[in-house]
Amino acid sequence: MEDDNDVTITGVTDMEALIHIPDDKPLMQLFKRLIGNDTKQNTVLTNAQILDILKKELNTDVVYIHDLELEIYLNIIKKFLKDWPQWDDFDKSVSSLKSKGDIDAIKKLLDVKYNNFRDYLKAKLDVAQPLIKNVVKKATAKKKEADDDKMNVLMEVSCTRSQLNKIFFRRPNPQQRNTIFNFIDGPTKIVLDNISIEALINWFHIKVEVNLPSFVYRFGMTHKLKHVLLNKKINETAVAPTVLNQHLQRSTNRKNASLLKLEDIQYILKEILASIPHDYHNGQLIRATLAYIETHLVRNHKSGGLYLTYYRKYMNKYAYVRYLYADVPSDSNFNNINKYDLQLQEMIYPSYYYEIGKFVKSEIISKLFIYTNWIKFECLLCNKVFLGPDMTEKLKQHILDYHFDQPDWQCTNCKSIYSMLYLAENKWEHKC
Ligand SMILES: [Zn+2]
Ligand SMILES: [Zn+2]
């Protein structure tokens, strides 16, 4: 810490301090040092001590803010620490009480002055905060323009989805040789949350296949992801709204695909539903899946015709974004930590696909239960297939165990934040 950066407050008088002050009140500690200072030396506050005051007394954590913003905070607090209008009064009152040796009165005085001082700093900070944000926003916007023509750097990382969610530390981790890579798997969490049938069908990278002699249908999530590793201390972090084309896209691979009537497909879906016995295994999941298929077909093929082919559609008007990182326990070496805030930016363009693989109008579906495994689910992230009588339970448990603990997503347009559960239950769609 450089000396000229430090703030100096002159000591008040000499006396042994008999007053106990807890560690979580750095302003009180400052008072105590001032009244107990018997050498009449100046009491110097380091930047780290000012950060401590900001965090513990003023509820302002500055570890992960922009450098410029931090600099402004430090200067504001330094200025108002010096300029507190009650310093003279404090000095006189303490001197007078000390000459009488009245420790109880000093304790009371400290309590009153402590509250006054903290309220004073808090009020100054409240006024300054929006102004600081504005200054930093303008400054970083300018910097971004200047940075735009720099070269892009690409890095390939292979890992599982759950590793990816926490693969980068926000700053070099001193407990692990200052690496930014988090290779160590965290403890497995026991998740007690429940998950609805709708959410299961729409979960990240879930695929469903219906495979009957007369009807083959596949659908699933086919989200596109884009990753960029950012140091948020340097990079401008606001993401521009990313608009997604809302039109239904049809595969051009099968040019001569035959045209089907929507009502014929609806008929076969009804037939399947009707042939499911009341107490059929996975009945709830299967009924919801069939309803889901019909909802999408009706919504996308209002004209009543569709091809025996592959369709794709974005599920929301805007992409979502989130930031993946693992936190590092903070330490006092703030010069080092303040250079980094590494976060993996993940953009998702939520989309689903469906494909009619086979359709034979003449065959009537009956006695579904004679076919084994005619419906199956698959997690595309883990290449794991779920079928058979306990399909629902296994799929649910798999998602709860491996894919439930996920950071939230933010809409790139309206900036609202949604949990994965909310998005899955609402077909990844929301109104801005
Ligand atoms: Zn999986
Ligand atoms: Zn939105």
**Is the separation of the CB atoms in 300 and 311 below 8 Å?**
yes
Cα distances (Å, whole numbers) of residue 131 to 138, 325, 421: 11, 29, 36
Range of the domain at 202: 179-425
Same domain, 188 and 142: no
Same domain, 196 and 109: no
Does residue 295 register a pLDDT over 90? Answer: yes
Q: What does residue 387 show for φ and ψ, rounded to 5 degrees?
A: -155, 175
- Amino acid found at 168: F
Same domain, 138 and 219: no
Same domain, 31 and 73: yes
Q: Which pLDDT value is given to residue 158?
A: 67
Is residue 327 situated within a structural domain? yes
Same domain, 295 and 223: yes
* Ion ligand 2 residues within 5 Å by Cβ: 411, 413-414, 432
Same domain, 15 and 126: yes
**Is the separation of the CB atoms in 124 and 72 below 8 Å?**
no
Same domain, 37 and 134: yes
- Amino acid found at 422: Y
Is residue 430 situated within a structural domain? no
Q: How far is the CA of 173 from the centre of ligand 1 (A)?
A: 29
Does residue 362 register a pLDDT over 80? Answer: no
Is residue 116 situated within a structural domain? yes
Same domain, 258 and 118: no
Ligand nearest to the CA of 386: 1
Q: How far is the CA of 431 from the centre of ligand 1 (A)?
A: 29
* Banded model confidence at residue 333, pLDDT cuts 50, 70, 90: low
Same domain, 100 and 232: no
| Helix (H) or strand (E) segment spanning residue 265 | helix 262-274
Ligand nearest to the CA of 244: 2
Q: What is the pTM of this model?
A: 0.64
Q: Which of 13-27, 78-92, 407-421 is predicted most confidently?
A: 407-421
Ligand nearest to the CA of 350: 2
Same domain, 103 and 221: no
Same domain, 196 and 92: no
pLDDT tens sequence across 166-201 = 778 888 877 777 777 776 554 444 444 578 999 999
- How many structural domains are present in the chain? 2
Is residue 261 situated within a structural domain? yes
